[in-house]
Amino acid sequence: MADEAKAKGNAAFSAGRFEEAAQHFSDAIALAPGNHVLYSNRSAALASLHRYSDALADAEKTVELKPDWAKGYSRLGAAHLGLGDAASAVAAYEKGLALDPSNEGLKAGLADAKKATAAPPRRSPSGADAIGQMFQGPELWSKIASDPATRAYLEQPDFMQMLREVQRNPSSLNMYLSDPRMMQVLSLMLNIKIQRPEDSELPEASSPSSPPQRQQEQPKPKAREVEPEPEPMEVNDEEKERKERKAAAQKEKEAGNASYKKKDFETAIQHYTKAMELDDEDISYLTNRAAVYIEMGKYDECIKDCDKAVERGRELRADFKMVARALTRKGTALAKLAKTSKDYDLAIETFQKALTEHRNPDTLKRLNEAEKAKKDLEQQEYYDPKLADEEREKGNEFFKQQKYPEAIKHYNEALRRNPNDVKVYSNRAACYTKLGAMPEGLKDAEKCIELDPTFSKGYSRKGAIQFFMKEHDKAMETYQAGLKHDPNNQELLDGIKRCIEQINKANRGEISQEDLQEKQSKAMQDPEIQNILTDPIMRQVLIDFQENPRAAQDHLKNPGVAQKIQKLISAGIVQMR
């Protein structure tokens, strides 16, 4: 709020509205009473209003707050000079030059102050000087601004320059009376209408084709007396210094980036730290240093930098992408520090916060990785084969009692304790089969085979479920696969025998129409059957089976075609009579 009031004051000062500028600076001082620049600016505004005593008080406060700032002594000298104390003005300007010997404003002020010490006492103004003195009062600006005919002049730089010159040297008014704008303002200040022959012809500003010949028409002005000059307020001093510091900070950042790429992390840290000292309004220096700390394994330091970046970013209303970057790097550091599954909770929460700021693919990837790591760690922490065996035995007892849902609960707990126990998957598959949950049972049986391809019970479980689902051809393939690992397994051999019986019945048409339709319906959902039926060659083969039996026999000599025909027969799509 103080910066906003200061900016309004600067704008009013630039427009020549010194009273308004002084008020804005007063508002800013009330909000930031320790800011020396605000007192300096108000001193300049008050000096422009010829309120030199007030200007002196502000100048003295400026020097008190910032004794090593040369500009403060410039304000002090201008105020002393305005009060007629040329000797004190000389002393003030000399102190300022001792701090900044090359300051042109201080040099010019000192020269004026020295002239004033040697100048004779001034007489009361008369004539043109008396009229010129009318331009010294604070009501000048308000009158010009309130009159529609003169208001626009305040936005014309050349006119503003003329007014300031008349304020500094009232006797110079004669030089500018050929300008119709100055005559208009003089008429306003005298509160009379001054008629000029050319009034109806001249526009607000002199025509470029006929500029006023001021030097030829007016007599050479008298050497002006030394007047106290409230030096113009350099509102860009702070801004200039700020830009210089920002530029220097950017150079440090670039040097830090170069060191980071070279894996020279210590040097990179030094450059980013220097950049932060030069410019605390760019949180990228903090996030970059945080990235270096991650590479160095200093995760706690990274987290501190990220927290500072988020806090400062909120204060500055920084780009949400920058805040998201800080949160992502904090989440990465937290994930690196995680030792237990619960440790990942804070990292996951931080990644989620980052995504609410900006949905970045890298952040989303890191969130998924953290969630997976948490889940894996939870399984490791819960892993206990001994407890898993106890839960499996409890499940077996309930299975014997035909309490299948209760058995499944214990098998589930056993698998949480030991997710790689094939016996538990096999037992749970049997429970699902008893409950008629064939898809779940099939999934468990397949998991048995995945974990241990030599586990015969897994093949027998899978084959039995496929048989119950009336997928006899698939069941037979499963049993045959199991026999490769255990050729003498009676359960697998019996399964094959049952499958052959059912397939032969289907081939002879000895199954009910209802079973046939159910079998065909399931077969038509099988992608392999769909591919066979949409194959142009196989479609021609099927046509030949119906219309040209001799050609059909030739097709069966092809092993690939014969295998596909057998598939269709087993599925009930094709029947042999």
Q: What is the Cα 537 distance to its own chain's centre?
A: 60
Domains and CATH numbers, the chain: 1-118 (1.25.40.10), 242-381 (1.25.40.10), 385-503 (1.25.40.10), 526-571 (1.10.260.100)
Q: What's the CA gap between 9 and 6, in Å, rounded?
A: 5
Long-range contacts at 84-88 (CB < 8 A, ≥ 24 apart): 84/116, 84/228, 86/113, 86/114, 86/116, 86/117, 87/117
pLDDT of residue 558: 85
pLDDT for residue 311:
93
- Secondary-structure breakdown of the chain: helix, strand, coil percentages, each rounded to the nearest 5: 75, 0, 25
Residue 208 pLDDT:
36
d(CA 86, CA 112): 9
> Which pLDDT score is estimated for 470?
83
Cβ atoms within 10 Å of 528's Cβ, excluding its own:
12
The model's pTM: 0.42
pLDDT means over runs of 10, the chain (577 residues): 82 81 90 88 86 89 90 89 86 90 83 76 50 63 75 80 76 72 76 46 34 41 41 57 88 94 94 92 94 95 95 89 94 94 94 92 94 90 91 95 95 93 95 93 95 94 92 91 94 93 77 71 77 84 78 79 78 66
Q: What is the pLDDT of residue 473?
A: 85
Q: Given CA atoms 409, 410, 411, 412 in this order, what sign does their dihedral have?
A: positive
Element (H, E) at 433: helix 422-434
pLDDT of 437 reads 93
Helix (H) or strand (E) holding 348: helix 344-357
Give the pLDDT of residue 222: 40
The predicted structure's pLDDT at residue 241: 82
pLDDT recorded at residue 451: 95
Contact 441, 433 (CB under 8 A): yes
